[in-house]
Every structure is written in structure tokens, then in C-alpha cells.
Structure 1
Amino acid sequence: MSASEGVLLVMGSGHQQFREYLLRAAAEHSRLWLFDPEEPSWQRRYVTGATALDVFDPAAAVRAARDLVGDGVTISGVYCYHEAVIAAAAHVAADLGLPGPTPDAVRTVRDKALTRARLTQAGLAQPRYAVVGPADDVATAAAGIGFPLVAKPRTLGASQGVVKVNGAGEVGWALGVSRSATQLGMVNPEEVLLEEYLNGPEISIDAAVLDGEYLPYLLARKRIGGEPYFEETGHTIDAADPLLADDDLIDMLGAAHRAVGWRTGMTHTEVKLTPTGPVLVEINGRLGGDLIPYVGQLANGIDSGRVAADVALGVRPKLDPGRESATAIRFLCPPVSCVATAVELPPPDPGSGLYESTVLTGPGSTLLMPPDGYIARYGYLIARADTVERCQAVLDEAERQVVFRYDPLPSGQR
């Protein structure tokens, strides 16, 4: 893309530690203009210009985009990987006539109840579910689904407020957990989704969708801990994972995207591999979090940031793997809510397979585990090897070398 063709508008830069690689990739692809809540700091090296505004407000974002165009800046595409900002990004793209998911498609995937309704209409495999508000007969709804079940907020992300419910006596507590969860830039309505608990491992699939064509290219197998919560503690990626060539799975995913009206844009879809077959958990209208695209690029050579930039411009991305290896990331979490007093990780050693070792927080930091808080991680480890089994062995050995000391927090101080 030449300078005369304008800028790629980035909506929300996100957390530097977990999203800078996507901003860097987009900057290598196009000239960037950033819309973000604050003036740029670390982002400045990647952008041509920036506008500070409430990026969570679609109307404010549309006004700012119109003002930018009025100042003579050509916007060629809208690039967004921030869950709480994808609605505003869709409105901007629609207002400017640019490629991207429609606001209705984003609203459908952001609201898990709407996703369930559309998938039901399409006859696709998904959990039994009910949407319950404060005035509804929750006991009857839960009994109709059966235990165990899952309670989750309708419109939050990152598994915040999602909890397993083992019996009728836990329903009220679980609803309280779901309703009290908060996430920046998102509204959590009082209505809660109750869903059948699905047995089996969980996978995620990152894909480009262009003009209705579903193009999956990255599959990760998820590691979950901390029951009854659903904290994502790691992901394993095999560039040659046979599920990426499973026609039944890919056909189901394509049909699910058509059902929610998603015709152009990036998605991160989560699926449970149950004893009776794959069942769709949710579709997210963005690239995967948890560094999944970064770890995926180490495995298959596909740069998700460049893929997303192409799709934002309406260009078919190149999805041919540049390599075939295995990678895995493991997040390090405290056993309880605490204040960290010491954090030491083994150094990276690519020769042994430990590709990266990163401390996320240091002594004195407060780490809140569910339900007090979410995504309380003091570090992560990344392995890269020929096989997923070797990756896990490398991570197991590295985790044994981790030093983490802490002072537990009394319940009244959380």
C-alpha cells in the first residue's frame, strides 16, 4: 500500500504486552492512524497519526472518522482486534463504505444469546441453553437444561464471569458471579445465559472471512484450569493439526458464520470436541487473544496481523504456511488471590525448546483470582519444537524451575 492510498484506521491498540505484535505487523503492511482513549506512547513508533477519543462509543468513533476524512485523510480500511471496540469499528467501516463485518453481525456475536438464537434457527450443534433475567423462573430453566451447566454473561469476553454450576444449590451464587463481572468498555446486562456443560477438550480456530468465504488457518487446543471457573491457562498449536483438514468441522464453522451474518472480517471461534462430535461454543469477531496469533505464527509462519490488515482492505490474504512445527504457551497463575513477593522464571533457551520466558508482574503486585478478578497471571512460557508432546515436556520442565512466592489476601481485602 503506497502513501497515496491513505491509512489503515486502527481502532483500539490494546495492552502492549499482548497486542503490540499485531500493531507492528499492521505498520509493516500499511500507514496507520490510531483511534485510542489516550494519546499514543509506545504506539507512536507505528502510527502516522492518532486521535484520542472514546473508542467504545460507536457514535463518537463515527464522528471522529468523518472529521479525519474532512481533514483530507483517506481511510482505506478499519483494523480492529479489541473485543470491546469491534462494535464501534463496524459502525465506522459501514459509515465509510469500507470492508468489514456489519454492525448487526458484530452485535450478534457480541451477544451470546443472539448467537445462540441464530445458530438454533440454522439447526447447528450447540449446547442446550436458556436466557434468564431477575424475574424469570431460574430453577425451572436450569432443571430443563440439566446439571452440570454453565452460567455466563451475555456480552463479556475472556471467560470473565463464566462459571460451572454442579447443582441447583449453586445456581443463585453462579448468577451473582456472572452479573457482577465487569470488563472495560462492555456492558453486562442482568440477563444471564445458562448453558449445558459440554464434556471434551476445547479448541479455537482463527480465520479470515472475505465476501462470505470462510478461510481458517490457525487451530489451537486450549488448556483450562481453576474449576468452577474457566481460566485459560495455555494453548497448544500444531501447524499440521488434522482438524484443520476436517471437512465436517470446517463446514460447520462456515455454516455458523453464515448464520450470524459474518461475511467479512477476522474471527476466533471456540468449539468443544464432545463424544458426539464438535459443538460450537462461541464466535468472537476478532483475532484470538492470549498471544494465540503470535504463537501460531511461530508454528506455521502465517502473520495474523498482516492477514487482518489485508481483510480490512478487502484483499484476499495469503494463508500458505511458511513452516510446520509445534508451539505452546503456558500462563503462570497464583493458586489464590495474593500479593506477589518473588517472581523468577527460567531464561529462554531455544536450543532446549524454551523459546520465550516472560515475567508479567513483580513483587508487590496484587493478583486476584476468580471470582475476585480475572486473568491474574504473573508470567508465561512459550515452547517451540517438532511435536506438541515435546512442547509440553519443555513447558513442564520450565514450570518446575519457576519461583513464585506470595502472601495470600484475606477475603476482606480482595
Structure 2
Amino acid sequence: MNSSKSVLLVIGSGLKLYREYLVRSAAARARRAGHELVLINNLRPTWQHEYFDEITVVNVFDHELLTRTAREIAARRTVVGVLCWDEPLVMPAAELAAEFGVPGLGIAGVQGCRDKYSARTRLTDGGLLQPGFAMAADLAQAREAVERIGYPVVVKPRALGASMGVMLARDDQELHEAFQVASNASLVGDEPFRGGAIVEEYAVGPEISVDAGLHKGEYLPMFVARKRTGSHPYFEETGHVVDASDPLLEDRELMDTLARAHQVLGIENGVTHSEVRLTDRGPLIIEINGRVGGDLIPLLGKIATGIDPGEVVVDVALGQRPDTHRPERGVAGIRFGYPEHDCLVRSVRVPREAPGLVTASPMVEPGTTLRLPPGGYIARHSFVVCRADDPRTCEERLTTASGMVVVDAEKVAPKSPDSLLEMPAGLLDVDE
């Protein structure tokens, strides 16, 4: 390292709509600690200028180019930490942290987060409750897996996020469709994980997520989100509710399971988003992601608990134990608006006032085509965020506010089942 002003290197800013609140807090925390924030981003910056001291634009999905760019920055700036909250980039970010000798998830840890098959294998070998599972290169292997596991099964890509390409199959006909959906979806992901699909036992029970900080392997839970899903037999996430007083935060079996899982996967320093099914056999980890949660869950956590995930991300990147004490005792939730069928959106109007409304926003521009699974995923036209003193009132307020969203759209024909997955419009950042 050189003697220039110390910087935190950020790999990908994420979307303004989904991540600006996180960037704002991270920038403030970094500067209070005496560090600048340097961004390597895929697109020409607009809103990012307010928060970053230096921005370099390269194709971050070309990992060799990303690495060369980061090394060039490290040659003239003193990199004291690496931050990343963008799912496709957590692996190169962890590799850069290891190369620069700064705290990070660890190579083994991020491998367990990105590769669902590796995670299943390692968690099973570590003695944690896991479903029966198998990696299938083709439909014949998928059928062999089902003979051992039994129906129903979940079929999923090996490394995609946001439930893209994930489908429930209850018989052989549905297995054929589910395998095709998952395998086709995998083709838009990282090259090492393309093709084939994971076939696993369907775990019955409510699904939750837990965001937590990791400091030298110590698991520090921040908040629990209760999840709503739709679009059966797919697993589209339609909403979340975070309660600062959720009794699951004091559930020793759940928290011990999560702590053990992180230890087994070798996750060292960072922030993770774990998805868990609460089954009659106990908590079953669906996956652990090496980043904060999506869907504005960290914002809900901040509103409900007072914990600022943007500050926690900086603290763990600097090797400092974060403060995960919950000073607030509220409830916050989000509800996403989905169309009933594939459509071309003409306009979206969201409420400006409603009981407990914190914020609401359209998620697409006029002229956007929204496609439901399997032709597309996360076909959201809007969201509303509400707060309340208890979960029931929060859910009621979310229902009221989401009912005030007005969408003008034209129905369009669905894509052919053989078509390549269309990336969600709401996940793609655009130049302004």
C-alpha cells in the first residue's frame, strides 16, 4: 500500500431506487472514520457523484477487467476495505479483499454464498438440517434425483438470486418444465454455474430472512423479515415485514443454527442475508447470501429497529465489531405490485398519502414490458412501504396503500417456454 489518503473500495453501487439509502449511510460512516469512498461501476454515474470521491466506469462483469482496475486504484490509493452489495459481484469483491489484505467474507465463505450446491453439500456435511438434494446436468439425472428424494421437489439454478428460475414440481410432467425453466435461467448467470439445475426436497413451513453482520466469524443478527410469496408454482417475493420485537430474534435454536452455518461455510467478515424455512423438524437454511438483503429489506430494518445497515457494512469492512443493538421497537413492511399477466405498462401512479405510508414508488418507466415467470421475473410495477406499532396493523396499512396504486397497462402475449430468460426491468440501472 502507499501513503495516500485511505479509501474504501466499492464494487458496484446498485440501483438508486434500491440502494441509495445504503450508499448515503455508508459514505457518511466512512468519512466520519476518515476514509474516502471510491466506486468501480458498470454505468455512467449520475446520483452516485454526491457520495463517492472517485468513480471509475468499466464492465464490472468482466472480472479480469474489474481486477485490473481495482489493482490500479490500489497502486495509488491506500485501500482499507472493500464493499459490495451486488449479488453477481460478491465473489470478485471477496477475492480483491483477500488480495489487498483487508477484512472480507473470505474465499471459502463467498463460495458457500454464491454456489448453492456447494453450500448444500457443506452444510449437510457439517451436520445441519438440510433437504435431500442433487445436482442434475440433464432431465434424466433430475428424474434419478427425484427417485431418491420423492415429490414434491424444488428445482433451481445453481447461483442466481431473487428466486429467478426457481420452480416447484409435484410430478414428472412438472419436473420436465421446472428443469427446463431452471436450466434456461442459469444461462444468464456466471459462466461456471451455467446449465443444469439443483433438485431438492421441498421444505414445508413459513419462510423468513435474517440480515446479520459478521466480525471475525462472530454472527451478529440485526433483524428478521417475514416473507410473502406468490405466483405459484414459482417463488416470487411479493412483500416483507420486519418487527424489531420479533420473537425469532430470541429463538436460540434459530440463531445457533445460523451461527453454526456461517462457521461451517467459513464466512469471516461482512454482512449476510440468510433465507430460512421454519419446518416442523427445525429451522432449515435455504441459502445464505454474501450481502445485505434486497427488496429494501435493509431499509425496513433501519426503520423498525434503528440499526443502520449502511454503517454496519462499513464497520465490518474495516474489521470493526458493529453495534447491532436495536434502539427502536417498531414494525415496517413493503408490498410489491405485480400485474396479473404479461403486459406493456403505460403509466403507474402511487399514493402520496396513506396511513403509515413511509414511501411509495413506481418501479418501471412507461413503455416497459413486464413478464411473469417463466418468461421473466420480479415483474414489479411499484412498491409501498408502511410503518406501524404492530405487525397486523402494518399488514393492514400495506394492503390499503397497495390498493391505491393505479396501473394503466396493455396485455401482451407470453414468451415461448424455450425463450431465454428476460432480465427483470426493475433490476436494471439506467443512465439518466
* Structure 1 position 149, deviation (Å): 0.8
Aligned residues: 409
1:408 aligns with 2:379: no
146, 153, 172: which one aligns with 1:149: 153
SS in 2 for 1:181: helix
Match of 1:366 in 2: 369
1:200 aligns with 2:211: no
Distance 1:84 1:225 in 2: 25
* TM-score (normalizing by structure 2): 0.91
Give the counterpart letter for 1:293 in structure 2. P
* Structure 1 position 66, deviation (Å): 2.1
Match of 2:122 in 1: 118
Match of 2:401 in 1: 398
204, 207, 215: which one aligns with 1:210: 215
Distance 1:183 1:190 in 2: 6
Change over 3 Å in CA distance of 1:6–1:184 after alignment to 2: farther
Within a 5 Å distance, the mapping from 1:40-119 to structure 2 comes to: 40-71=45-76, 73-119=77-123
Distance 2:414 2:258 in 1: 43
- 8 A contact 1:348–1:357 mirrored in 2: no
- 8 A contact 1:59–1:88 mirrored in 2: no
332, 336, 342: which one aligns with 1:337: 342
Match of 1:25 in 2: 25
Within a 5 Å distance, the mapping from 1:4-403 to structure 2 comes to: 6-30=6-30, 31-71=36-76, 73-134=77-138, 136-181=140-185, 186-187=190-191, 188-349=193-354, 352-403=355-406
SS in 1 for 2:373: coil
Give the counterpart letter for 1:26 in structure 2. A
Deviations 1:207-261 (A, max 9, x none): 1011110101111000000001100000001001010111111110011011111
* More moved, 322-331 vs 394-403: 394-403
Distance 1:367 1:35 in 2: 30
* TM-score (normalizing by structure 1): 0.95
* Structure 1 position 135, deviation (Å): 7.4
Give the counterpart letter for 1:70 in structure 2. A
* Structure 1 position 204, deviation (Å): 0.3
- 8 A contact 2:139–2:179 mirrored in 1: no
- 8 A contact 1:5–1:76 mirrored in 2: no
* Contiguous gaps of at least 5 residues in structure 2: 31-35, 420-432
SS in 2 for 1:299: helix
Deviations 1:120-177 (A, max 9, x none): 1111011111111127532221121111110000011111000011111111111110
Distance 2:281 2:94 in 1: 36
Distance 1:228 1:99 in 2: 40
* Structure 1 position 275, deviation (Å): 2.2
Distance 1:143 1:335 in 2: 35
Distance 2:165 2:87 in 1: 16
Deviations 1:310-333 (A, max 9, x none): 000101111111211011100001
Distance 2:58 2:347 in 1: 38
* Contiguous gaps of at least 5 residues in structure 1: none
- 8 A contact 2:186–2:194 mirrored in 1: no
Give the counterpart letter for 2:145 in structure 1. A
* Structure 1 position 342, deviation (Å): 3.8
SS in 1 for 2:220: strand
Give the counterpart letter for 1:84 in structure 2. P
* Structure 1 position 29, deviation (Å): 1.3
* More moved, 57-66 vs 22-31: 57-66
Distance 2:46 2:384 in 1: 27
Change over 3 Å in CA distance of 1:95–1:166 after alignment to 2: same
- 8 A contact 2:245–2:330 mirrored in 1: yes
Change over 3 Å in CA distance of 1:117–1:309 after alignment to 2: same
- 8 A contact 1:342–1:405 mirrored in 2: yes
- 8 A contact 1:58–1:87 mirrored in 2: no
* Structure 1 position 183, deviation (Å): 7.8
Distance 1:299 1:201 in 2: 21
Distance 1:411 1:310 in 2: 46
* Structure 1 position 45, deviation (Å): 1.1
* Structure 1 position 97, deviation (Å): 0.4
* More moved, 326-335 vs 361-370: 361-370
SS in 2 for 1:25: helix
Deviations 1:375-398 (A, max 9, x none): 111100111010010001111122
SS in 1 for 2:326: coil
Deviations 1:353-412 (A, max 9, x none): 122221122443211111111111110011101001000111112223222232211135
